[in-house]
Amino acid sequence: MALLPILRFPDPRLKKIAAPVGEIDDSVRRLIADMAETMYEAPGIGLAATQVDVHKQIVVIDVSEGRNELLALINPRIDDLQGQQEGEEGCLSVPGIFEKVERAERVSVHFQDGDGQHQTLVAEGLLAVCIQHELDHLNGKVFVDHLSQLKQTRIRNKLAKQARVTA
Ligand code: NI
């Protein structure tokens, strides 16, 4: 397994649209293992392949307290959204920034697992937020895109300043 470098907003590669995964083979399973290791190490509760510059429809998620309930979703599709919730979100690609985002309270998502089996998961609360956040990444969207233009500009300026300090 290997740690993968995570793209930082506003890297234009975060805007790429991920392609569906065809055959789910060992290379896909290896990528999932590397993404999981990268997410746990960061640490984060979700990571999309887009964030490690692989533009395939794969996300890993673990919102459990024990950090031992890994979910890997391949070719995920949300087929139902219900209700509404607002929570503070952050992102491994937007370090140090946390903002409130409105999301659906409950989602039903269809996906394939690491064995290629088709599954449906109904999630609510934090897991539902995480699924919506990660699927946005596969569509080239980061949570910052849900905020007002004014907030987006502030975040860009703040991150640019951070980059100058650490460079
Ligand atoms: Ni994110």
Task: Tell me which residue of 51, 53, 140 sits closest to 61, measured CA to CA.
Answer: 51
Distance from residue 164's CA to the centre of ligand 1 (Å) = 22
Near ion ligand 1, which residues have CB within 5 Å?
A: 91
Q: Check residue 110 and give its pLDDT.
A: 98
Q: Check residue 165 and give its pLDDT.
A: 80
Distance from residue 115's CA to the centre of ligand 1 (Å) = 25
Distance from residue 132's CA to the centre of ligand 1 (Å) = 10
Q: Which residues participate in catalysis according to the annotation?
A: 134
CB 51 within 8 A of CB 15: no
CB 136 within 8 A of CB 46: no
Q: Check residue 71 and give its pLDDT.
A: 98
| Rounded Cα–Cα distance for residues 162 and 167 (Å) | 8
Alpha carbon 63 to its chain centroid, in Å, reads 12
> Which uninterrupted H or E stretch holds 120?
strand 118-124
Q: Check residue 156 and give its pLDDT.
A: 93
pLDDT (tens, 9 = 90+) of the chain, 167 residues, equals 799 999 999 999 999 999 999 999 999 999 999 999 999 999 999 999 999 999 999 999 999 999 999 999 999 999 999 999 999 999 999 999 999 999 999 999 999 999 999 999 999 999 999 999 999 999 999 999 999 999 999 999 999 988 888 76
Residues 6+ away with beta carbon under 8 Å from 76:
57, 59, 109, 110, 111, 131, 135, 138
Residue 99: what are its φ and ψ, rounded to 5°? -140, 150
Q: Check residue 1 and give its pLDDT.
A: 76
Distance from residue 46's CA to the centre of ligand 1 (Å) = 7
